[in-house]
Amino acid sequence: MRFLPVFLDTAAGVVVVVGSGEPARGKLRLLRAAGAHVRWFSRDADVAEEMLPLSGQGRLEISFGDPLKADLSDAVAVVSAAGEALDAQIAARARRHRIPVNVVDRPELSTFIFPAIVDRGEVVVAIGTGGASPVLARRLRELIETLLPTRIGDLAQLIGRHRRRFAAVPQALSPRRFWQNVIAGPIAEAVLAGRSEEAEAHLVAAIDGNGARHSGDAGRTETVFLVGAGPGDPDLLTLRALHALADADVVFYDELVTAAVLDRARRGAEQVFVGKRRGEAGIAQDEINRRLVAAARAGRRVVRLKGGDPFVFGRGGEELEYLREAGVPVVVVPGITAALGCAAEVGLPLTFRNEAGKLAFITAQRAEDAAAIDWSGLADRQTTVVVYMGLATAAAVRDGLIAAGRDGETPAAVLARGTRPDSQAAVGRLEELAALAAEVGEGPAILVIGEVAARSAPWRAAQVDAVSAQEAA
């Protein structure tokens, strides 16, 4: 590492900028955005006048004098993009005065370089490649931009406002543990969701309550995160889900959660299987609820990881109610439900203008589930019906829809193990639904019945194959 990352206080003095081209103007914009007091030596009066209205907290002075004779007594840094010969002279002069200097795109003349920056207010991330590849640094910045929550700077600002208040009260928890709980709990979640006033009120209460517990009881009920794992592909996890997994002490996961998704959890987190496999005795829901509460009350940060979305046939609502009644802090992190992820993978639009204006999600894991459904409300041709856990009851689903008046020729698709490496799709007509289900094999699957199934990639491929077969014959 040749260049040590540091953060310059631009309010401590003047930043001298030399040059009139776009490289100089780019650095000028960046410095002005940081609130720097800039003294700009420009040889182009028209360009200088255009730059005057730039927003920024600091002052902008424009000089048309000789930068080699400039007063550097109040300078904290020099930035030059004046041309090869002048750049070398300015760099040498700055070095003689022991002032940090950056010559744009000339790391050999520079004592500091500008990193690529992710700016979230009070949170700033700097990425550098030692001047070797600014393009790579910008690419890394783009990747980090997608990972950092937009309001993370607001969270840092909130913490900064209350650090002295925390230091002034007796502490039941260490400062590190207290702020770690804030950053990874409901207070941070409220800030990131834009509920700043609620977050501030809870933080004040937490600080005061932390002091009230100084009697020696340092026990604290941790937060449970109900997290949607999506249909299987770990790249479909939301950013908030990744954040929760990165902070987990223990992860309770279902059968539908893939190993690739579990790999995104913190390495030291305990992983506990609480799923239900067909044909095997599973863990009762009451026992899962009890384990979640016990882990949280033991001071462990809990992630309850569910396939798809917690609130779509995932019993997340039941767990949420139980945790609330037990007084356990809980945060719900939505996920991409199977219908959305699997349909997107095969290019199947679940709705389509003038063709499918209604969308119904139902579940029919057992024959009695299918028998209890009022199929008459799903017979409309404009309705796309998505059946979760319907692989074993495909025949009952077919019979119920046709008996209610749905045309047996309606396009249908069975999407098994969607978004996973072994995903498979079978397409045909509603009257063939049971055969289609048998074709895809075991594993999680959804049934899609509606005109839009004919717009999917597997359907189009099947039509091409049929035409080819006819031509060959």
CB atoms within 10 A of CB 111: 17
User: Interhelix angle for 285-297 vs 316-325, to 10°?
Assistant: 50
Q: Mind listing the pLDDT tens digit for each residue in 137-155? A: 889 988 888 888 889 999 9
Q: How confident is the model at residue 46 (pLDDT cuts 50, 70, 90)?
A: low
The answer on 320 and 234 residing in a single domain is: yes
The answer on 331 and 364 residing in a single domain is: no
Catalytic residue among 276, 358, 380, 407: 276
Which of 88, 114, 140 is the endpoint of a domain? Answer: 114
Structural domain count of the chain = 4
Q: Mind listing the pLDDT tens digit for each residue in 278-310? A: 656 678 999 999 999 999 999 888 999 999 999
Within-domain flag for 124: no
Q: Mind listing the pLDDT tens digit for each residue in 206-263? A: 888 765 444 334 467 889 999 999 999 999 999 899 989 988 999 999 999 999 999 9
The answer on 269 and 204 residing in a single domain is: no
Within-domain flag for 325: yes
Pairing of strands 383-388, 445-449: antiparallel
Pairwise CA distance, residues 354 & 451, whole Å: 11
Phi-psi region of 3 (alpha: psi -120 to 50; beta: other; left: phi over 0): beta
The answer on 194 and 272 residing in a single domain is: no
Q: Which domain holds residue 202?
A: 152-212
Q: Which helix (H) or strand (E) holds 1?
A: none
Q: Are 410 and 397 in contact (CB under 8 A)?
A: no
- Is 276 part of the annotated catalytic residue set? yes
Look up the CATH number of the domain holding residue 24: 3.40.50.720
Within-domain flag for 2: no
Which of 114, 144, 166 is the endpoint of a domain? Answer: 114
List the strands of the sheet with 383-388, edge to edge.
358-363, 383-388, 445-449, 411-416, 424-429
Mean pLDDT of 363-384: 89
The reported pLDDT for the residue numbered 217 is 40
The answer on 324 and 246 residing in a single domain is: yes
Q: What is the pTM of this model?
A: 0.65
Q: How confident is the model at residue 103 (pLDDT cuts 50, 70, 90)?
A: very high
Look up the CATH number of the domain holding residue 301: 3.40.1010.10
Eight-state DSSP code of residue 215: T
Catalytic residue among 87, 233, 247, 254: 254
Which of 94, 114, 134 is the endpoint of a domain? Answer: 114
Does residue 184 carry a pLDDT above 80? Answer: no
Helix (H, G, I), strand (E, B) or coil at 236: helix
The answer on 391 and 355 residing in a single domain is: yes
Pairwise CA distance, residues 267 & 341, whole Å: 27
Q: Are 276 and 365 in contact (CB under 8 A)?
A: no
- Is 369 part of the annotated catalytic residue set? no
Look up the CATH number of the domain holding residue 445: 3.30.950.10
Q: Of the ranges 84-98, 167-181, 323-337, which one carries the lowest mean pLDDT score?
A: 167-181
Within-domain flag for 206: yes
The answer on 352 and 330 residing in a single domain is: no
Among the listed residues 94, 27, 87, the one whose alpha carbon sits nearest the alpha carbon of residue 60: 27
